[in-house]
Amino acid sequence: MKPISLNTVARAVDGSLTGGDAAALVSGVSVDSRSVREGDLFFALKGRVDGADFAAEAHLRGAVAVVADRPLSVPTVVVEDPLVALQDLARFSLGGMNAPTIVGITGTVGKTTVKDAMEAILRSVGRRVSATVGNFNNEIGLPLTVLAADERTEVLVLEMGATHTGDIAHLCRIALPEVGVLTAVSPVHLDSFGDLDSLAAAKGELALAVPETGVLVSPVGVPEAATGPGRVYARRITFGRGPEADLYPGRVSELESGLSFELRVRDGSEEHTVEVKTPVFGTHLVEPLLAAIGGALALGLTAEECARGLARLRRTGLRGELYKLRDDILVYDDSYNASPAAVEAVLRYGAEGARNQSRRLVAVLGGMFELGAEAREYHREAGRLAGEVGVDLLVCVGDEARWYAEAFAGEVLFYKDAVDAADGLEKQLRGGDYVVVKGSRGVGLDRLTRRLKERLALV
């Protein structure tokens, strides 16, 4: 963020400064006292703990002042709600930047892949890009991303997550996207939204926020509620697996170096093809890569520039990493999070890889969270699919994962948690196995993959 005075901060967040030097400059923000740096403004948010209890620590670490709902023993900007103040400051800071183009990305799967891919493409052509770090895509993470952006940023790429109706609309009021990218609509967070129609409408809040002068990128075939019913945009770009989309793949293959596909770009009656080679693994990643290409095209790049940028793509950890362990064991680690659509994609991808290489297929599946009343049936459907695609050994981790086995007729192992699963799985693996790993973040399957890497590392 561009350095601003405490006095300016107080005006921007409708607060009052008690103590401290009104002319002191703020150069960054933090919501975690442990990560405060010299010159930061510490926001004392309330959650499981009251951030105000850590104000003194933040000040000792170099915080210029604390934003809290009451005066404290250190310089304090007093506001009604520190979270609202954080969002207000993010909104204010956008006015001090060089008018960056904002890209908003939402959807039930693939947001981080799209963000990573767009960032790689834009950086390859020399654009100054700031993008969401990790999973900072909610009412706290998004303003932190905005405030962390360099004032010279040309494109701000923001993931926008939602667990309730109105969440994305709220995020768009903080940072209004000129380009909206919808990745997919599939079952997730149904304990909050209730059904797929309500979920689609919640994701559609992004499309409704994009101005008529903007661009919407979306998959073909998603519910109308997700694409802003009745809205008109300067441009609409669709993507999918078939020629009814503006962007779709021809031949798709996977090489030792990563994914390869023919990008077919349809513009009215004209169509041309560009070869894309990218060092990531997973044929199910084609759709989010197409979404990223659509976002880049919306910003004026060419298909050829997109292809060159994707050649430099590096994905965020635990999302589609393919590596080899001792005894020629291959692991496809997509353990970061899970939904029914994502589990299906990983199972089909693993089945294709195991079949093509004549390997035994081992699926390590943690439970899928936040699926509401139909959670058991979604797990059963995934278990049924595991049998259909040829999984040889199903490893179920956690309580919810037992439902996978109800519809799977093959060999099954059950473990209460990821640590137990790692200990047990190590004894069950055979040379040449193909292992796919997928589960909701709360299951912590990254602990399993980390242990396997340590214990079965190539010599």
pLDDT at 136 over 90: no
| 29/150: higher pLDDT | 29
pLDDT at 335 over 90: no
Predicted confidence (pLDDT) per residue in 144-191, tens digit: 999 999 889 999 999 999 888 999 999 999 999 999 999 998 766 556
Please give the pLDDT value at position 316: 62
Stretch 321-340: mean pLDDT? 89
Please give the pLDDT value at position 193: 67
Q: How large a percentage of the chain has pLDDT more than 70?
A: 97
Please give the pLDDT value at position 268: 77
SS (H, E, C) 420-435: HHHHHHHHHCCCCCEE
Q: In what order do the strands lie in the sheet with 28-30?
A: 16-18, 76-78, 65-68, 40-43, 28-30
Please give the pLDDT value at position 398: 93
Q: Strand 28-30 relative to strand 40-43: parallel, antiparallel, unpaired?
A: parallel
**Most trustworthy range by pLDDT among 121-125, 162-166, 335-339:** 121-125
By mean pLDDT, which of 9-13, 95-99, 178-182, 449-453 is the weakest?
95-99
Please give the pLDDT value at position 283: 86
CA nearest to 433, candidates 340, 327, 307, 344: 327
Longest dimension (CA), the chain: 70
Predicted confidence (pLDDT) per residue in 401-417, tens digit: 999 999 999 999 999 99
Please give the pLDDT value at position 373: 81
CB 228 within 8 A of CB 254: no
Please give the pLDDT value at position 284: 86
Structure-token match 């490893």, residue found: 395
Predicted confidence (pLDDT) per residue in 231-242, tens digit: 999 999 999 999
Please give the pLDDT value at position 315: 66
Predicted confidence (pLDDT) per residue in 340-357, tens digit: 888 998 999 999 999 989
| 322/12: higher pLDDT | 12
Q: How large a percentage of the chain has pLDDT more than 90?
A: 77
* CB neighbour list of residue 333: distance below 8 Å, 6 or more residues apart: 318, 320, 321, 322, 323, 437, 449
By mean pLDDT, which of 73-87, 317-331, 378-392 is the weakest?
317-331
State how far Cα 110 lies from the chain centre: 6
**Burial of 357: CB neighbours in 10 Å, binned 0-12, 13-18, 19+:** exposed
Please give the pLDDT value at position 34: 94
CA nearest to 421, candidates 439, 386, 454, 445: 445
pLDDT at 338 over 90: no
Q: Strand 65-68 relative to strand 76-78: parallel, antiparallel, unpaired?
A: parallel
By mean pLDDT, which of 119-133, 191-205, 207-221, 271-285 is the weakest?
191-205
* All structural domains of the chain: 4-80 (3.40.1390.10), 97-310 (3.40.1190.10), 321-455 (3.90.190.20)
Stretch 293-314: mean pLDDT? 96
CA distances from 112 to 107, 214, 215 (A): 10, 22, 20
CB 207 within 8 A of CB 182: yes
Please give the pLDDT value at position 317: 58
